Structure 1
Amino acid sequence: MDATQSGPPSTSTSTAGRPVKVCHIITGLGTGGAETMLTRLIEGRDPRRFPTTVISLMDRGQMAERLEAAGAPVETLNLNRGRPTPAALFRLRRLVEHHNPDVIHAWMYHANLGIMAGLGRPFAWNIRQCVYDLADESRGTQAVIRLGGLLSPQASAIVYNSRLSRIQHRALGYSERRDEVIPNGFDTATFRPSEEDYREVRRELGLPTATPLIGMVGRLHPIKDHPNLLAAMTIVAAEHPQARLVLVGRGLTEDNVELMDQLRALDLHDRVILLGERRDIPRITAAFDVAVLSSKSEGFPNVVGEAMACGVPAAVTDVGDAAWLLGEAGRVVPPQDSVQLARAISELLAMDEVARRQLGQKGRRRIVENFSLGAIVARYHALYARLAGVRFEAPAYAPPSATEPHAADSQALPTPQTQNASESADAEP
């Protein structure tokens, strides 16, 4: 299946034989990248062709309602983070036997190991992060990663969402026999440019319409390297005093005393807007003039693709597959270099409106043509059918419609198949 195709997945069942029952097992159902991609995958499937159940090792999180609304029952084990028990594994096995899936698909390290409770059925692992240095992980996570390498030959398939992640895990001893890269897909109907959102979000924040907004979506976590972004913002503020930085994600709220102290120490308390967790990410993203990824570690960063789909140019650190995803739709800088990050942000802000809009259009075209949700869903469906031994033909896709913003005037861009062709062919989406 070629990931350059666009459009929603077909809901026709005429392309194959019997349905394939899939059971997804995931560590939790919060609002992270893996949970979001799982939810989009289930919402985009044909429920008659791929009836689905989801088992969360922890609680229901924020995504359970969306999953159930899409017709996927959600089961929970309510485990405490990092504390699996033999009894929990027994319960997991009983749940798998009860739902009797044709294929089991695990998401993230702990679920990958928990899936061993479903042996006797084809199962796939889904690895969602890069590992630059095992020493950066907790001792428990280090042990889980190492154990995963030992057990990986037993997996029927290993799916990575980034090319770099596959390279790193192979170096850690993960089996190469049945691995592949399936990048994240993006809903370009939900994430799209919106002049209305651009104005309305500023109105809600009490800002003039002309206020330049720099934005980053990502929870407060060391790998997101917010201190790097804040240091860069002190430099940007000197050149663009009207600009405001919008931070969205868990932990990024005004009741975070430590964070507020940092902002005051940097004299940024009146230049940074903290929105915490939000459920209206598409409209907030569409309001940015420049999107930022300041991370020091990533796999395949959803937030970059979402910003691109909204027609927003981005300044990103060169981590994971961020640079490959961005292409020429923004600026790429080394991680943990606030001076270069500030320069990249300032350059994008300094562009005239027409040039910046054209750069954003280039980014949206790249997402529509290379990373549409429909094409990525079809690749997962092909994987499940193959593991279940069922015939499957990928549904036909229409080319980007001339009525879709920025699609009609698209020009040829490097595709995942042609870029960095020195890598093995099945590494490319």
Structure 2
Amino acid sequence: MKKKIFLIVGSLGAGGSERVYWLLSQYFNKEAYSVSVVFLNAQEQCFPTNIEGVEFIDLKTIKASRSFFKLYKLLKDAKPFAVFSTNDHINILTAMVACFLKVPNLIARASNNPQQMKQFYGFKARFYNLFTRFLSFRFNFIVCQSVEMQQSISKLYGISLNKLKVISNPVLYTSAIKKQSYNAVQKKLIIVARLNREKGLFRLLEVMEELPENYVLTIAGDGPLMGDLKDRVRLRKLDNRVTFLGEVKEVSTLISAHDLFVLCSFTEGFPNVILEALASGVPVVTFRVGGIDEMISEGFNGFVAEQANLIQLKELIIRACSQSWPHEKIKADTYCKFSLDKIGQAYESLLQN
């Protein structure tokens, strides 16, 4: 009989955590396991659900605060061998439900570095943090995406390092995606991000003002700062050099049409968009944030600027766009380190025999 595995997410929207679990559902989809992806909100959906062998269950509750009884009944009836959850509010919900059920393998995935995120927390996030410390004991393991995140969570919440396992995010191989031809005249930059404060997009626009006129920027993603960012672009007369696409689905294909991926975040857990860029053979210039040391090899697949050093970021962008890059080697190196099989095996190793 197949062992039942449940992966719980808030939605199938365009978030990094959602993408990781959507990918993991495909890894666990094999003879030994019966896989279900549980989500609360079907209104946000960027990932397909027509994956053979994977069941997608919509609780139709929208919010975690309304989901306790439905999730409890689902898990009580199914009696799963393992339950994986991700993101603070879903981890808290799952831990609370697990207080009343026996789940042999209960594994959470932390989605950010809490010490770095403090300055961006609203009331709801601070409220979640109060519960994280007390409910962490319910989990067999908590997956951290980098050593930096592991150390931060251990220090802040007093959780044993033995419970905090470092596993990077996976990337799915797509052979059809190739780096497109290099444009020697126009330098095409791209960033893919949710448009909120911690992504640091206003400081990227400052850098764009200082870059030569032949540098253009594509901003893909949606979020609360869209209007303010567009106003800033108009005010600084960058209209002909900055393009807003909104939310996109074919991220890798879009990235591969550009010369350089730029990340300007104040904080990250383990940015999936950088993996997608590298998996397309596109080099990256980024500020130093969580997970970067595991992904970027200076000079081979990109450059790293120190946080808030806009001059250094500008100089590295120009440097990156003024040299050739081994696109196929970048792509191959990324899959070697972060393939779904390799990361999936690391998750599977957490399950008890």
Instruction: Tell me the TM-score normalised to structure 1 length.
Output: 0.75
Per-residue deviation, 1:252: 9.3
1:84 aligns with 2:65: yes
CA distance in 2, matches of 1:373, 1:290: 24
Question: Which amino acid in structure 1 is aligned with residue 75 of structure 2?
Answer: V
SS in 2 for 1:269: coil
CA distance in 2, matches of 1:147, 1:75: 26
Per-residue deviation, 1:362: 4.6
2:84 matched to which residue of 1? 105
1:249 aligns with 2:234: no
Is the Cα–Cα contact under 8 Å of residues 34 and 128 in structure 1 kept in the other structure?
A: yes
CA distance in 1, matches of 2:309, 2:77: 51
CA distance in 1, matches of 2:223, 2:29: 36
1:293 matched to which residue of 2? 263
Deviation per CA, 1:270-295, whole angstroms, max 9, x where unpaired? 10111111111111111111111110
Per-residue deviation, 1:127: 0.7
Q: Unpaired segments of 5 or more residues in structure 2?
A: none
Of 219, 222, 228, 2:194 maps to 219
Is the Cα–Cα contact under 8 Å of residues 215 and 288 in structure 1 kept in the other structure?
A: yes
Deviation per CA, 1:329-381, whole angstroms, max 9, x where unpaired? 21101223322211111111122xxxx222x4453243122112211112222
Of 325, 337, 340, 2:312 maps to 340
Of 10, 25, 44, 2:8 maps to 25
| Change in 2 beyond 3 A, CA 1:277/1:191 | farther
CA distance in 1, matches of 2:56, 2:78: 11
1:9 matched to which residue of 2? none
CA distance in 2, matches of 1:289, 1:334: 22
Per-residue deviation, 1:106: 0.8
Q: RMSD of the alignment, in Å?
A: 2.3
1:179 matched to which residue of 2? 164
Moved more, 94-103 or 291-300: 94-103
For residues 273-422 of structure 1, the aligned pairs below 5 Å read 273-328=243-298, 329-351=301-323, 356-358=324-326, 360-384=327-351, 386=352, 389=353
1:71 aligns with 2:41: no
| Change in 2 beyond 3 A, CA 1:135/1:73 | same
CA distance in 1, matches of 2:52, 2:14: 17
CA distance in 2, matches of 1:80, 1:372: 32
Deviation per CA, 1:213-269, whole angstroms, max 9, x where unpaired? 111111111111101111111111x3xx2221111112499xx54322110112211
| Change in 2 beyond 3 A, CA 1:191/1:314 | farther
CA distance in 1, matches of 2:335, 2:194: 26
CA distance in 2, matches of 1:46, 1:188: 16
CA distance in 2, matches of 1:70, 1:338: 47
1:265 aligns with 2:235: yes
Is the Cα–Cα contact under 8 Å of residues 308 and 314 in structure 1 kept in the other structure?
A: yes
Per-residue deviation, 1:192: 4.3
Per-residue deviation, 1:191: 7.7
Deviation per CA, 1:1-57, whole angstroms, max 9, x where unpaired? xxxxxxxxxxxxxxxxx5321011112221111111111111233333221112213
Question: Which amino acid in structure 2 is aligned with residue 249 of structure 1?
Answer: G
CA distance in 2, matches of 1:101, 1:28: 20
Deviation per CA, 1:121-168, whole angstroms, max 9, x where unpaired? 131111111121534311221221231112212211111122221111
Moved more, 256-265 or 285-294: 256-265
Aligned residue pairs total 345
Is the Cα–Cα contact under 8 Å of residues 145 and 291 in structure 2 kept in the other structure?
A: no
CA distance in 1, matches of 2:139, 2:208: 45
Query: Whose RCO is larger (CA < 8 A, sep 6+)?
Result: 1
Of 88, 100, 114, 2:93 maps to 114
| Change in 2 beyond 3 A, CA 1:163/1:94 | same
SS in 2 for 1:67: coil
Is the Cα–Cα contact under 8 Å of residues 120 and 198 in structure 2 kept in the other structure?
A: no
1:156 aligns with 2:140: yes
Whichever of the two has the greater Rg, that structure is: 1
CA distance in 1, matches of 2:39, 2:317: 39
SS in 1 for 2:83: strand
Is the Cα–Cα contact under 8 Å of residues 148 and 174 in structure 1 kept in the other structure?
A: no
CA distance in 1, matches of 2:175, 2:191: 18
CA distance in 1, matches of 2:345, 2:320: 35
CA distance in 1, matches of 2:15, 2:129: 19
CA distance in 2, matches of 1:67, 1:175: 35
CA distance in 2, matches of 1:135, 1:124: 27
Of 53, 56, 59, 2:39 maps to 56
Per-residue deviation, 1:63: 4.3
- Which structure has greater strand proportion? 2
SS in 2 for 1:219: coil
CA distance in 2, matches of 1:313, 1:77: 40
Question: Which amino acid in structure 1 is aligned with residue 7 of structure 2?
Answer: H
| Change in 2 beyond 3 A, CA 1:269/1:252 | farther
